[in-house]
A = this chain, B = another copy of it.
Amino acid sequence: MAIDERMEGIEAVFLDLDGTIYLGGELIEGASEFLDRLDHRGVKRFFLSNNSSRSVSQYLRKLTRLGIPAREEEVLLSTHDLLNWLEAEGIDDTFLVGTQGMGEMLEARGIRTQSKSPQAVVLGYDTEITYQKLSDASMYLHAGVPLVASHPDLVCPSPVGGLPDVGAYLSLFETTTGVRPVKVCGKPNPSMILGMIGELGLDVECCAMIGDSIYTDMAMADASGVHGILVLSGEATAEDAATSNVRMSLIAPSVDSLCR
């Protein structure tokens, strides 16, 4: 099924946040009206983010502040993908290198984050890093405890250039211990959205992933079979899209032109 900017036949959309719905602290022009159009047409919408430094509650507060009231179950974070992976592996004793917000999400699912005999070292986007955390994690990695990361992003976009994200910490740990992660969750893993699509009982052909990143958002759409709609309001340029091998259904200037 081919789609155009009207997005006819789409019943659920997965929306990247930074670069797609907002840019830093400001809504993308027309994003609010776009969300109203989805709502009016009865299209379900989910907000996706690889940024594991914030908890769901923190995202809901940010969205509300920007005039987008959302429900808890509409926010899908790389942390959720990580939680599902930990549960599937039977891991509930971890040592977390991550923020307090991320720690609370893990603890709420019964996963210890300060274990003295961890089954895994869990790495999130830690904007509250300390040398003690780096040292303790290195000690466990030297001792053979496996490493799992919430997402692969090297940097978190910012107006002053990319800031160190999970991928940068992975480099630090590899240099220190020689250890690479056994698993990296989050986009572009199809597991970020396939669980929800299954729960909704939808066909992937009726779903779209809208985002500004080719190597996470569009790669995930490609791998999962949903329509990939690249918006040029963030990271990727039209040139990037033209030279990419990733399959996409559509390229739009921003969400402002969609679902009209």
Contacts and interface: CB of A to CB of B under 8 A. Distances in A.
Interface of A: 126-131, 134-135, 138-139, 142-143, 154-155, 158, 160-165, 167-177
B154 A134 contact: no
A224 to B, nearest CB: 27
Contacts of A162: 138, 142, 176-177
Contacts of A175: 154, 164, 167-168, 170-171
For A143, A160, A165, the residue with the greatest tally of chain B CB atoms inside 10 Å of its CB is: A160
A127 B134 CA distance: 9
A134 B138 contact: no
Nearest to A134: B164
Nearest to A137: B164
Nearest to A140: B160
A164 B154 contact: no
Given A138-B164, A168-B173, A172-B172, 5 more contacts: A138-B161, A142-B162, A161-B177, A162-B177, A171-B175
Nearest to A142: B161
Contacts of A131: 126-129, 164
A143 B171 CA distance: 22
Given A129-B134, A131-B129, A134-B129, A168 B163 contact: no
Given A129-B134, A131-B126, A134-B129, A168 B164 contact: no
A168 to B, nearest CB: 4
Given A131-B126, A131-B127, A134-B129, A168 B172 contact: yes
A176 B126 CA distance: 14
22 contacts: A128-B131, A129-B131, A130-B130, A131-B164, A134-B163, A134-B164, A135-B163, A135-B164, A138-B162, A138-B163, A139-B158, A139-B160, A139-B163, A142-B161, A154-B175, A155-B176, A164-B175, A164-B176, A165-B176, A169-B172, A170-B175, A172-B172
